[in-house]
A and B are shown apart, each in its own frame.
Chain A
Amino acid sequence: MILTLALSLALQTPPGEESVAPYARSDANAGATPFPDDRLWRTFGAAPGVARIVDRLVELNQNDPRIADIFKGQDLVRLRRVLKEQFCYILGGGCTYSGRDMKAAHHNMGLQTADMAALVENLQRAMRESGVPFAAQNQLLAKLAPMKRVVVTR
């Protein structure tokens, strides 16, 4: 019985990721409505472009003294995967978002406004390095900005 439960949990958890407490899956968890077509998704370089941006974003965050501590002890394999899904979903790339909602995903992190701003700056840099035009960068940031209300808790 315990063995089957452990097995089923292991099967649900993608390789290399730690298991998380069960939650209801929904695209609404992405915290923003997607763009109606895939124009922006293509501007970002589709899957390879978004993968490069997300990997670089996580790397910049890990090396940013302002917010590096927040990422210590986090499951970065899972973070990269769900961020790529979230960006793909919002940018109109047609992905399904399988992560938790923004409130649950940032629960107990004690994030401040300045943490969110540091992450935005790192994302701007990752997008810029990846050749995303400034106007397209701002269209994604406009979708992410209102998440501050649930992400920032102190």
Chain B
Amino acid sequence: MRMRLFCLAILSLCLPASPILAAEYRSGGKLLLTDGISTVEGAGGGGIASWATIAGQETDAGIGGAAHATLVALPAFTLTALGASIGLRDRVELSYGRQRFDTRAAGAALGLGRGFTFGQDIVGAKLRLVGDAVYDQDRWLPQISVGIQYKRANQDTVVRAVGAAQSRGTDLYVAATKLLLAEGLVLNGTLRWTKANQLGLLGFGGDGRRGRSVQFEGSAAKLLSSRLVVGAEFRSKPDNLRFAREDHAFDLFAAWAIARHLTVTAAYADLGSIATVRRQRGPFLSLRTAF
């Protein structure tokens, strides 16, 4: 219910501004790669950090969208993420993401059964408050957005058995993104208020810490051409569950716009220890289409 009210509030903020301007509807119009890619949670951003950018290639005069498929192949686990998002007038983003986390052989060792799969659905909304990350090159003010993600893990019994307090949770975040064009740099910093264990796949809150904590997501990238960006990301995560230590996540990535509507991202991600299985690092591959 609270979630629904929030969405309505966001929409009502967006709508009154539009008809008065009577701007001619226009699809597309964002510069290549300036809408970023999609995170494993479905929001517009980097691969693991949500940014202040709004998904889709639309400008303030249109509606855009994006869809993505991401695979993270870890030594013991496989994470797949599918998602879609809509961008309204480069102001509001609505997103849906679905994650599957296959425990493969490790599932047996964990007592869950071979190939036991955790999953979650994530519904998100983001509102751009101020700033223009791309065009405001004479100001320090970044583009700043606030967002919400409602997450529902699908293995209620198991996540409670490992110590999670709930199988549903809501993340709130504020993100600041800035393109420093003269230097060819993209910088992002995000503060997330969350109680999600392993993004929410292992539920929310736990026997270690029950409530939310503030976590940080950072991205720094260098533009190599108008089509190619390389960079690094960091994401801190809470450590709520007693049975297993949860580590922070890192990645090194290259995003290549192979066509106007298609971006391929290849990364190497280090997700640390997951459910007592240490050193989970491996390739991250994401395909994203946007219009």
Contact = CB atoms under 8 A, between A and B. Distances in A.
A121 B29 CA distance: 10
A134 B225 contact: yes
Contacts of B184: 134-135, 138
Nearest to B34: A117
A145 B181 CA distance: 9
Interface in B223-239: 223-226
Contact of A114 (B22, B61, B132, B134): B61
Contacts of A134: 184, 223-226
B23 interface: yes
B242 interface: no
Contacts of B108: none
Contacts of B23: 112, 154
A130 B21 CA distance: 39
Interface in B6-47: 21-24, 26, 28-32
Contact of B29 (A117, A135, A141, A142): A117
A114 B226 contact: no
B31 A138 contact: no
A120 interface: yes
Given A112-B24, A114-B26, A139 B182 contact: yes
Which secondary structure dominates where chain A touches chain B?
Answer: helix
Given A112-B59, A114-B29, A138-B184, A146 B138 contact: yes
Interface in A129-154: 134-135, 138-139, 141-143, 145-146, 148-149, 154
A113 interface: yes
Given A114-B29, A134-B224, A142 B59 contact: no
Contact of B60 (A113, A135, A143): A113
B113 to A, nearest CB: 52
B182 A142 contact: yes
A109 to B, nearest CB: 13
A144 B79 CA distance: 42
Interface of A: 112-114, 116-118, 120-121, 124, 134-135, 138-139, 141-143, 145-146, 148-149, 154
Interface of B: 21-24, 26, 28-32, 59-62, 90, 132, 134-139, 181-182, 184, 223-226
Given A138-B182, A146-B136, 11 more contacts: A112-B61, A113-B59, A113-B61, A113-B90, A114-B26, A114-B62, A138-B184, A139-B182, A146-B138, A154-B22, A154-B23
27 contacts: A112-B29, A112-B59, A113-B61, A114-B26, A114-B28, A114-B29, A114-B62, A120-B31, A134-B184, A134-B223, A134-B224, A138-B182, A138-B184, A138-B223, A139-B181, A141-B137, A141-B181, A145-B135, A145-B136, A145-B137, A145-B181, A146-B135, A146-B136, A146-B137, A146-B139, A154-B21, A154-B22
